[in-house]
Structure 1
Amino acid sequence: MTIELRNATKVVRGITHIKPTSLVLETGHFNVLLGQTGAGKTSLIKLMAGLDPLASGRILMAGQDVSKLSTQKRNISLVHQFFVNYPHMTVFENIASPLRVAGMAKSEISDRVQEAADILQLGPMLKRRPQELSGGQQQRCALARAIAKESQAVFLDEPLANLDYKLREELREQLPELFAGRGAVVVYATSEPEEALLLGGRTALMHDGAVTQFGATTDIYRNPENLTAARVFSDPPINAAEITKTGTQAHLRTGVTWTLTGAAAALTDGQYTVAIRPHHVTPVAASASDVALNGIVQVTELSGSDSSAHFQMGSDGWVSLAHGVHPYQVGEDHRFYMDASKAFFFAPDGSLAA
């Protein structure tokens, strides 16, 4: 089973929401759509689900052109970030609703509902109504409905966004197992790079209605093809600054200079953008080759066992993310260290240079 988009576009009142997009999404792993709010993730899901019409292009499921088929005829399930359950129905009836619409026999409906409820730990709650459930239980009910339906495609549009941290962690770990071996193409939209990495599979990076890169999740994290992709796949935001390369030397506008090695040293002299993720900029040097940076601390934050500091270096804002508790003071001139071996270098047009 595959979902294939061939130059699919979406246009609303003359405004292009999805630019020409070609993708092949397969079973056996999660297919993640990663991008910030407004990047086009939900719009692309609506096209694949048949909720919005194509402006041009085609969509195929299992080789069949479904471009003009209604949502009901595409055999898909859709789980939103909001708890979409029927308030007047019990949990059993909510899970069973698409099966009854399909005219399935009562005995099979009962078996499928019970199986899905057991998988999602909803067995004792089948007689309750949605308002009697917690937020996490309501979302489990929506997921159980998708599992019981045994659709060809399951679209999960930021399904954990409105849950508390603990529930998000629990469900995030369970999701790959819930859909493993079911033969459905699973498409999962998120704005969180960490979530994409945890889910694995393959990821399509989205920006401004276009897919900027698609491939194995860990591969595109390690090897972004352009500056836009690097920015999409970094949280906190990736640090980026203009440099001038002369010989084997890189020069920041602040006067910081370091010696380039490897592919970066072989670049043609000129202007580039250096980009490095915040966890490679730390308040303690890891090696003698680290590049010293000085900046004015603007904002600090302690999150779990990590400390982050936003600092201003010349006209550029940078972020450091380091393990442990570090005593930053807002307004101080603080020294940080960049592991330049982990930096990306991009040409003026945004393409990867080294």
Structure 2
Amino acid sequence: MIELQDATKRVGNVIHIKPTNLTLQTGHFNVLLGATGSGKTSLIKMMAGLDPIALGKVLMDGQDVTRLNTQKRKISLVHQFFVNYPHMTVFDNIASPLRVAGMAQSEVEGRVEEAADLLQLRPMLHRRPHELSGGQQQRTALARAIAKESRAVFLDEPLANLDYKLREELREQLPDLFAGRGAVVVYATSEPEEALLLGGQTALMEDGRVTQFGPTADIYRNPENIAAARVFSDPPINVGHITVSGTQAHLAGGGKWTVTDIADGEYTVAVRPHRVTPLRTTDADVELTGRVIVTELSGSDSSAHFQHGEDAWVSLATGVHPYRVGEDHVFYMNPAHCRYFGQDGQRVA
């Protein structure tokens, strides 16, 4: 277990990580999800001992490691870049931390071969990194982390530089590779879809702070605040201003529907793009008219970015749809999938 207690990072007078309290457990994936610059890598470096902490503590299995160097924390770190020793074979790359630790050669060989088998690297053990593909180089780095049997494994966007097919393959394998190894696994990503596929627990990050933490699927369904809703959506979540009067919600730019248990006042409404479609799906759908700005076709899905009042919205729908850029188009939103936030950004319904 890794526990952060008011952990804070400063660079000069600038606070990079605001006081953070977070407990990361063994036994499942712990995902840090946020846009580039949100603080994911900084938080990992603090936990790994690569960056100093200005205030607060880092505990590993109850032990205060705040002032311990990286080597004494017994951790592994896998970057998005392929970090391997170019003059060493794959075998020696995987074995390097074990030899530094003074492990017997017979145990080194056993651990290296086990990790190589897990990552399908046994035929490459005598090759050097320049003889490997990008995917094989990253598998070597992952095998080194597995063979080391660390207390904590930090994966900082490890699949970002791989092609799509390799990303899909490794993403599916990662939870199983580290299952049952007794390590805290922390995985940083900027892709909401990746967090959902990995499951486990997710900490949403924005501007150097954790905005929400909990089971990944629960956070996706029930963001506690508008910041969390924005982080956990790709394409961007649709956000609009509404006025509630009685049981009626009136959306700026046009559109109204019935609401319950929400007091009269001004609110922000948020709805994910796949809940805004070019075709009516239920009798309760609210009609929205907007001018199409950009259209995209990705596989079997079509997206349309459109202007609704003063807000830019996105529709994501299955199939090919005849949008025309610069023309008005009617879209339909099901209010059952709306989330409502107060003036302070906290969720009210």
Q: Please give the TM-score of this superposition, normalised by the length of structure 1.
A: 0.98
Aligned partners of 1:335, 1:291: CA distance in 2, in Å?
10
> Within 5 Å, which residues of 2 pair with 1:175-324?
175-260=174-259, 265-324=260-319
How many Å apart are 1:232 and its aligned residue? 0.4
Aligned partners of 1:257, 1:294: CA distance in 2, in Å?
12
* Alpha carbons 2:254, 2:288 under 8 Å: kept: no
1:253-283 deviations in Å (ceiling 9; x for gaps): 21322222xxxx2211110001000010001
> Within 5 Å, which residues of 2 pair with 1:97-246?
97-246=96-245
1:300 partner amino acid: T
1:193 partner amino acid: P
SS at match of 1:349: coil
SS at match of 1:6: strand
The CA RMSD measured in Å over matched residues stands at 0.7
Question: Residue 61 of structure 2 corresponds to which residue in structure 1?
Answer: 62
1:261-312 deviations in Å (ceiling 9; x for gaps): xxxx221111000100001000111101100101111111111111111011
Runs of 4+ in 1 over 2 A off after TM superposition: none
Question: Residue 84 of structure 1 corresponds to which residue in structure 2?
Answer: 83
SS at match of 1:128: coil
* Alpha carbons 2:89, 2:128 under 8 Å: kept: yes
SS at match of 2:71: helix
What are structure 1's unaligned runs of at least 5 residues? none
Aligned partners of 1:159, 1:41: CA distance in 2, in Å?
13
> Within 5 Å, which residues of 2 pair with 1:44-59?
44-59=43-58
Aligned partners of 1:250, 1:353: CA distance in 2, in Å?
14
Aligned partners of 2:318, 2:333: CA distance in 1, in Å?
15
Aligned partners of 2:322, 2:132: CA distance in 1, in Å?
43
1:175-204 deviations in Å (ceiling 9; x for gaps): 000001101000000000100000000000
SS at match of 1:329: coil
Matched, 1:331 2:330: no
Aligned partners of 2:299, 2:122: CA distance in 1, in Å?
34
* Alpha carbons 2:238, 2:272 under 8 Å: kept: yes
* Alpha carbons 2:33, 2:205 under 8 Å: kept: yes
Mean CA deviation greater in 339-348 or 321-330: 321-330
1:88 partner amino acid: H
SS at match of 1:274: strand
Question: Residue 29 of structure 1 corresponds to which residue in structure 2?
Answer: 28
How many Å apart are 1:47 and its aligned residue? 0.2
How many Å apart are 1:329 and its aligned residue? 1.4
Aligned partners of 1:182, 1:234: CA distance in 2, in Å?
31
Percent same amino acid at aligned positions?
75
Mean CA deviation greater in 80-89 or 246-255: 246-255
- The number of residue pairs the alignment matches comes to 349
Aligned partners of 1:241, 1:126: CA distance in 2, in Å?
56
SS at match of 2:297: strand
Aligned partners of 1:253, 1:303: CA distance in 2, in Å?
30
Q: Please give the TM-score of this superposition, normalised by the length of structure 2.
A: 0.99
